[in-house]
Structure 1
């Protein structure tokens, strides 16, 4: 009997319970779906996804099929073609992911077939870590403790790379990858092969992790794991990462694990509060405090294009434009600048990041923006306002990061600061005080 493996955010052979389950009774049919929503992605993201699925197709001996269209139509079609009574998939928890899997389940059920879930993109699925009274955690540190106490399963055994039946494709991955580059050329290409990503993790844990706790906030140093994109596309599971890091007895390894926990905390928050993808969980300033009109649009474009006159902000936005990534410390600085110096709503920045980021993760993006804006769960308070100049002195002391991305720095071509940070900080604090008085 053939079962279908529906590829979602689990494009890998290692530690993949859904795929292992699909292969239990014989070779599996594997299908990934190029849905209409992918057209809204940047060319960079489309190109990277095409490379990820191309690599997975190679690892399955060419058996992976990639179909275009809504997921319910594509998955049902493959199940019918292979007379598969069951489709296996990892469960999603984001609002869009839930809607998609409900549609697939309904289409299969109407045809006498079944969608079965096993696993998720998280070490601990959203909703499972709760307080003693059964309610959700609203603060990260106690969530972290409970998350560790809850624990997670050991990685699943590797799937059989030969245990597949061929599924025909109607999407040319080579063309999609090339088209994406034409739309949005990469300055440097991210790794997209599963085996190399495991090597990358091993290399990091064998060396750079010793510097992680002390240097991870330095954009001028290469002290991070570079696993955000592989995690976003599901080429490695956080359980695999945690199993490897747990063998190290160091504070740096524990700090690294806590950053994985932040990813899971944000997914948990969005699971409990789907509206958080668009709405502030805790409004902190009056609505009339947000800048609007043509001047606000011009300010947004200056921020987007990296021409604010604040080197760390501009370097971060230039890095994002060139590579689709940005160092996490710099992400916080550019987000704070948009919300608290330019007085633009966090949703506007989150929407741009959604388009531009190669490692885009919905829960992470929306809730990280809410963290900076002071509107989310366990958020930085609104009155915490990053000073882009002092942040640059602290975390890029030799200016290596800003000089890499701003060749015109220290020349007449580089703009003067577009705002007075000290004055805009006072405006933000006054808005926050007005908001307190209105609540």
Structure 2
């Protein structure tokens, strides 16, 4: 029996420019690609029509079809990863498992368990950097500590980022190493896993030079359909290589490159400070007397706050799984500062809804908005939703699209006046932070 090398797809759903897959194909023969619909993750999802599961299922099906055309196949399993690997080890002789790094606390615990099991089973287990430009301890301060302020981190990245870090892995040169599978396996259906196909349409995987060239001046205006790249979901699930994205950014848009570096920055924060998943990066912010109003939180979730830009953003999120980045900042600030509701509740709601949900970026941006994170907006910076609407949606085009009853008697009055909310926020924050 031939010894099998398994490549385990996770947040890297592509056959091209995939670091771990490249090394598996280059160094080993009989490489068997594997994807696991992880029940530990799926069991936490509340919506049977969760669009992200549809996106993953669709993408995995495309990879499977592509491999079948090469005479190989993608093995797809449903269950807990450790149980899947134990089962496979009884079916075949596994020599090694290759995969790419993940930086989230739960993923790190999962990978540690798999690594320990593999070691005890005499199986080589290797992981690689793929979803970031830099990771872990690659970018540190002069004193060897992780950066907690973005600008010096970004400057160090830009000083280090040469062509070497942006070069694609030529996976196509080693396709002969894929295992031959004359009898392809059937793909598990969404229904068999307890899900159903979403009605949400996914953004195309298109790196538009035109969008990038105009990104800096257009990115803050939510009414512009092509003002941003809409590539968040593709970066999140790895259908787009970060190296390909960064090459395009370096060529066409310094501003978008900066956004990609923010993504790396939050990932290294989560890696070095995993406690930020549930606690404030600045512990003193956990002392704030947050309000626990389920009624106010529900109005925010439903887009019925009486602030049209906030409501438009929440309704867009609920309908499409997407929200414009400028509006994300305004809605997050509103929840934390106007309503004085803990950032973690908003972060969890976004985690349920966003197609491009990524723990590191979502957590980092929510803590930025609340003032509780590293390099965050100061607590006394409180967005005025009305002023934001006037500046970034001056004709009300975005608001009218998502809040058609705006300027009619059916639209609610503001939950709280801005001046009152600002005063209440400053009082609560100042009281806690001066202790």
Structure 2 unaligned blocks of 5 or more: none
Give runs of aligned pairs for residues 4-403 of structure 1, distance below 5 A.
Answer: 4-24=6-26, 25-36=28-39, 37-41=41-45, 42=47, 43-61=50-68, 63-151=73-161, 152-159=165-172, 163-166=178-181, 172-175=188-191, 179-181=195-197, 185-186=198-199, 188-191=200-203, 197=205, 200-201=206-207, 204-205=208-209, 207-221=210-224, 222-248=226-252, 253-285=253-285, 287=287, 289-292=289-292, 296-403=293-400
Mapped to 2, the partners of 1:230 and 1:381 lie a distance apart of 32
- Return the alpha-carbon distance in structure 1 between the equivalents of residues 274 and 186 of structure 2: 34
Query: Is the Cα contact below 8 Å between 1:47 and 1:176 reproduced in 2?
Result: no
Alignment check: 8 A CA contact 2:212 2:249 kept: no
Aligned-pair CA distance for 1:74? 1.3
User: TM-score normalized by structure 1?
Assistant: 0.90
1:49-108 deviation digits (Å, cap 9, x = unpaired): 211212221222271122111112213433553422111000112111111111111222
Q: Structure 1 stretches of 5 or more lacking a match?
A: none
Contact 2:7/2:20 (8 A) holds in 1: yes
The answer on whether the counterparts of 1:306 and 1:313 sit within 8 Å (CA) in structure 2 is yes
Task: After TM superposition, give the deviation of residue 168 of structure 1 in Å.
Answer: 7.1
Give the whole-Å Cα distance in 1 for the aligned partners of 2:59 and 2:193.
10
- Offset from partner CA, 1:207-266 (integer Å, 9 cap, x none): 121211111011011211111100101111211211233334xxxx11110000000000
**1:434 alignment counterpart:** 431
Q: Aligned to 2:4, which of 2, 9, 14?
A: 2
Q: Cα–Cα, structure 1 residues 58 and 310, in superposed 2: closer, same or farther, change >3 Å?
A: same
1: CA distance, partners of 2:201 / 2:122: 44
Deviation sequence 1:274-312 (CA, Å, 0-9, x none): 0000000114557462112xxx00000000011111111
Does the 8 A contact of 2:288 with 2:428 survive in 1? no
User: Hey, what's the Cα distance between the residues in 2 that align with 1:244 and 1:26?
Assistant: 33
Aligned to 1:422: 419
Classify 1:23/1:94 alpha carbon distance in 2 versus 1 (closer, same or farther; 3 Å). same
2: CA distance, partners of 1:403 / 1:234: 34
The 8 Å contact of residues 9 and 233 in structure 1, kept in 2 or not, is answered as yes
Q: How many residues align?
A: 418
Question: What is the RMSD computed on CA atoms of the aligned residues?
Answer: 2.1
